Amino acid sequence: MGEVIVITSGKGGVGKTTTTANIGTGLAKLGKKVVLVDTDIGLRNLDVVLGLENRIVYNLVDVVEENCKPKQALIKSKKTEGLYLLPAAQTRDKTSVTPDQMKELAKELKKDFDYVFMDCPAGIEQGFKNAIAGADRALIVTTPEVSAVRDADRIIGLLEANEMSDTKLIVNRLRQDMVKQGNMMSADDVVEVLEIGLIGIVPDDENIVIATNNGEPLAGDDSLAGQAYMNICHRIMGEDVSFLDLNKKGFFARLFGK
């Protein structure tokens, strides 16, 4: 029996989809069987981040409406063994699916996969409610900005109200140089404000832009972001991994020509 994890943030554009794609890829590389569910009906994007956009036949709404079996809608990644995508419908809206239907779907997928990830849309409306419905735990993505952290706090409150107690934080797009200058909140600052456990710090890395352009998540490669994502994967699996030293980059990365 697998686990269902929702990746959410409240605010849009903080990197939920990129995070979902990379964590999914990382866990698959670690030998787990993983399915990523795009719950952003009407604004799907997980397919392009994974480079699977040309292979969509059926989608989440088709599964829920029983136009096809769940297995028929799953797209198998060719690049990463063990990674599957259940894409969102693009021409429907969030009301096409109910939280009860999502619970049912989550229960089904759990039987066949080690990890089921729900990529949550921005906002706190129906799409959010659908995404969290069947989840066992939540990963909250934020960037070190006032607006994103504020929205994350709201999401944490809503998850608590829905009796989801296992919530962990990912601080995304951290710029260590700016933190040093005193012009960006550190991951510790964000943790202090939100009072929630930290599961990962992902540095702002141009390699992520390149990876997304190519439709190939970078989890597990030797870039800083790639390592950060892989560390999150290990922590999801319950391993104790120390946080990356982001200060290293300037010195060691240059030294070894990374």
Partner 1 sequence: MKFSDLFKKKGSSDVAKDRLKLVLVSDRSSCSPEIMEKIKNDIIEVLSKYVEIDKEGLDIRITQVENEEGADKSSPALCANIPIKNMKGQSKVK
Q: Where does this chain bind partner 1 (CB under 8 A)? A: 144-146, 149-150, 153-154, 157, 178-179, 181-186, 189, 193
Shortest distance, CB of residue 178 to partner 1, whole angstroms? 8
Minimum distance from residue 182 beta carbon to partner 1 (Å): 3
Least separation, in Å, of the C-beta of 184 and partner 1?
5
Nearer to partner 1, 93 or 160 (CB): 160
Q: Which is nearer to partner 1, 108 or 145 (CB)?
A: 145
> Which residue, 35 or 201, has its beta carbon nearer to partner 1?
201
Q: What is the DSSP annotation of the chain?
A: --EEEEEE-SSSSSSHHHHHHHHHHHHHHTT--EEEEE--TTS--HHHHHT-GGG--S-HHHHHTTSS-HHHH-EE-SSSTTEEEEPPPSSS-GGGS-HHHHHHHHHHHHHH-SEEEEEPPSSSSHHHHHHHHT-SEEEEEE-SSHHHHHHHHHHHHHHHHTT---EEEEEEEE-HHHHHHT-S--HHHHHHHHT-EEEEEEE--HHHHHHHHHT---TTSSSHHHHHHHHHHHHHTT---PPP-TTHIIIIIHHTT-
Give min distance, CB of 15 to partner 1, in A: 19
Q: How far is the CB of 94 from partner 1 (least distance, A)?
A: 24
Of the two residues 81 and 192, which places its CB atom closer to partner 1 in the complex? 192
Is the CB of 48 or the CB of 178 nearer to partner 1? 178
